[in-house]
C-alpha cells in the first residue's frame, strides 16, 4: 500500500492526518521531494511540524530515533517488504513503547528535552552530506548554537544554525552513545 502526500495541494492535510494515525507504531518509509535519503522507521508520534521515528537504518536493526521536519514530504508508504522487516524486528523482541514518545511540539521543546535527557544529539540540514553532533549551548529565534562533538569524542567549539534550516534530528543512536563514552567526565 502506498500513499503520496503533497503538502502544496489543498485539502490533503486531513488525509495526511488519517494516514499518520493509520501508520502509528508501524514500520514506514518517508520520502522527501528535496532529499535523496529515504527514512525508514516505526512511526512513534507526529505533530504539525515534526515526525518521530524509531530509526530502522538498515536490514532488521533499530538504532536510536530520528525526528524529521514535516516539510517537502513526497510520500509516506508501507509495502510488503516493510511489513516483512517489521515482522522480523518484532520477532527479535525489539519493540516500541509509550516511553519512546518525546515532546515534538516545536524545535525548542525538542532540543531542550533532548539536552536534559540525552545530552548529545545530531542535527542535519537539507543536505545529507553533513550532520553535526553536539550539545545545546543556546537556542533563540535567530539561531541554534551547539558545542560541536567531533569523531574522537572531543568538543570542538561552537557551531550555529538557522533553526528554520534544521530538517533532521537524531538521538540515542549507537554512534552517538559510543562517542558519549569517551567524552571526558569534566566535559559531559
What is the tens place of the pLDDT at every residue in 23-70? 889 999 999 888 888 999 999 999 989 999 999 999 999 999 999 998
pTM flag (> 0.85) = yes
Confidence band of 142 (pLDDT split at 50, 70, 90)? very high
Q: How many helices (H) and strands (E) does the chain have?
A: 4, 11
Q: Which of 94, 33, 107, 96 is nearest to 67 (CA)?
A: 107
Question: pLDDT tens, 57-90?
Answer: 999 999 999 999 988 888 889 999 999 999 999 9
- Domains annotated on the chain, with CATH: 2-100 (2.30.30.100), 107-187 (2.30.30.100)
Strands 144-149 and 2-4: unpaired
Share of the chain above pLDDT 70, in %: 89
Amino acid at each position: 500500500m502506498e500513499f503520496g502526500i503533497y503538502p502544496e495541494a489543498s485539502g490533503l492535510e486531513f488525509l495526511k492526518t488519517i494516514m499518520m494515525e493509520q501508520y502509528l507504531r508501524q514500520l514506514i518509509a518517508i520520502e522527501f521531494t528535496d532529499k535523496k535519503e529515504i527514512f525508514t522507521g516505526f512511526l512513534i508520534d507526529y505533530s504539525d511540524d515534526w515526525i518521530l521515528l524509531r530509526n530502522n537504518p538498515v536490514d532488521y536493526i533499530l538504532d536510536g530515533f530520528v525526528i524529521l521536519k514535516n516539510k517537502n514530504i513526497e510520500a509516506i508508504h508501507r509495502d510488503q517488504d516493510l511489513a516483512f522487516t517489521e515482522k522480523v524486528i518484532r520477532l527479535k523482541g525489539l519493540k516500541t513503547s509509550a516511553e519512546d514518545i518525546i515532546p515534538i511540539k516545536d524545535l525548542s521543546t525538542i532540543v531542550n528535552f533532548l539536552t536534559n535527557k540525552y545530552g548529545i544529539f545530531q542535527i542535519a540540514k537539507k543536505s545529507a552530506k553533513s550532520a553535526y553532533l553536539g550539545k545545546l549551548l543556546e537556542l533563540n529565534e535567530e539561531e541554534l548554537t551547539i558545542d560541536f562533538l567531533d569523531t574522537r569524542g572531543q568538543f570542538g567549539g561552537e557551531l550555529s544554525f538557522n533553526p528554520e534550516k534544521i530538517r533532521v534530528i537524531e538521538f540515542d543512536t549507537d554512534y552517538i552513545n559510543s562517542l558519549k563514552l569517551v567524552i571526558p567526565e569534566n566535559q559531559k
